[in-house]
Amino acid sequence: MFRRPAKQPATSAPAAVPIVNDPGKVLGDLLAKPTLEGVLEAALHQAIELAGGGNLKGYAVVRPGEDRVAAVVGYDRELVGSPLSGPWSSGRARVVADGATELFATNPPEVRAKLDLLGMREVRSSLIAPLRDRNRFLGAIVLDRYGEGGFATLQLEAVTRWATAVTPLVSLLEAREDARALARQLSGVFVEAVESLDFDAVGHSRKVTEIALKLGRTAGLSEREMDELWYASTLHDLGKLHGDDGHAMLGANLLHDVSGLTNARLGVRHHHERWDGFGEPDRLAGEEIPLLARIVAIADAYVRKGDVGALQNEVGKTLDPRLVAVLEKALKDEP
């Protein structure tokens, strides 16, 4: 008599590694720095966690024409912006057993020299997760493991799913970065046209912007504030299109309907206010004067005088004493 084989207990498939353990925290991290580099850096941190952490470093590559490093975690930030070819070019999710060999084989000598200095020849294995939006290949997240051990299949799957999840945001920010670069180019061209009306003014806004950004960075401004500071300092003399008198207010009026530049517009309007309250157009005093306007005023004065020591006579009168000290520190700390 035939017996039926005993029923085997059902076996469940191995549980997939969850993409996100704390969705709220991860979303907060992604949006904390709403720039392409900021979002990709946050995405790399989460990818490293999904791959087990430990001795991992990572970078993200985007390809606006040619592949370039857009963000790093664990590597020196000097890698950001560098052109780089590598094992992601196929657009496939994969683990490369000897990540360094393929990376070094596809790059010219000057790039290999930089990779050597960063210690990337010591990479033992690499995980490649493509950033693909529909049929468009935007780049890749690359995780490098140093020392023994590779990447498990479940880790590759988890990081690949995570890369797919963040790609639409990367695509949106990439388009925004393109638009931002175009807006800056157009602003620069327009300012040059305004400055060409007065030969002595040519290049003035560019110099003011350079000093203002140096001061802003040392003062600890956020990325968003730095972006608006760029516009405030670049466009601070925009109103001179209609002559010198009242140009600060005229420039601000020209920016009135430009969305996203509210603080930059205030920086333009108030850059001729004085710390002691005897400036124009609104006779604001002290910290009533918007921060960006105070920074532009100091940068403008520095460019005109050519020496931070010459600003001391204006401290507490026309200029913010604390920010003048910050500029002095920024200039001393220059390499």
Q: What is the mean pLDDT of residues 65-88?
A: 92
The pLDDT of residue 28: 60
C-beta separation of 211 from 323 below 8 A: no
Q: Is the pLDDT of residue 8 over 50?
A: no
- For CATH 1.10.3210.10, list the domain ranges present in the chain: 196-332
The pLDDT of residue 14: 40
Model pLDDT for residues 274-311, shown as the tens digit of each residue: 999 999 999 999 999 999 999 999 999 999 998 888 89
Q: How far is CA 112 from the centre of its chain?
A: 25
User: 23-176 maps to which CATH number?
Assistant: 3.30.450.40
Look-up: residue for tokens 């608006």? Answer: 228
Structure-block tokens of residue 59: 């970078």
- Residue 77 per-residue DSSP state: G
Q: Who has greater pLDDT, 40 or 10? A: 40
Q: How far is CA 166 from the centre of its chain?
A: 17
196-332: which CATH topology? Hypothetical protein af1432 (1.10.3210)
Q: What is the mean pLDDT of residues 135-152?
A: 90
Look-up: residue for tokens 């600003």? Answer: 311
**pLDDT band per the 50, 70, 90 thresholds, residue 172:** confident
pTM (global) more than 0.75: no
- For CATH 3.30.450.40, list the domain ranges present in the chain: 23-176
Q: What is the mean pLDDT of residues 89-94?
A: 91
Q: Who has greater pLDDT, 10 or 44? A: 44
Q: What is the amino acid identity at position 177?
A: E
Measure the CA–CA gap between 166 and 19, rounded to whole angstroms.
11
**pLDDT band per the 50, 70, 90 thresholds, residue 15:** very low
What is the pairing mode between strands 56-62 and 136-146? antiparallel
Q: Is the pLDDT of residue 197 over 70?
A: no
C-beta separation of 239 from 250 below 8 A: yes
Please give the C-alpha separations between residue 175 and each of 170, 171, 192, 241, in angstroms, as whole numbers.
Answer: 9, 6, 26, 31
Q: What is the mean pLDDT of residues 32-46?
A: 84
The pLDDT of residue 182: 61
C-beta separation of 307 from 324 below 8 A: no
Q: What is the amino acid identity at position 125?
A: S
Q: What is the mean pLDDT of residues 93-113?
A: 91
Q: Who has greater pLDDT, 213 or 174? A: 213
> Residue 175, Cβ neighbours under 10 Å: how many?
11
User: Residue 64: which residues within 8 A CB-CB, separation 6 or more?
Assistant: 174, 178
The pLDDT of residue 2: 40
- Residue 126 per-residue DSSP state: E
Mean pLDDT of the chain: 84
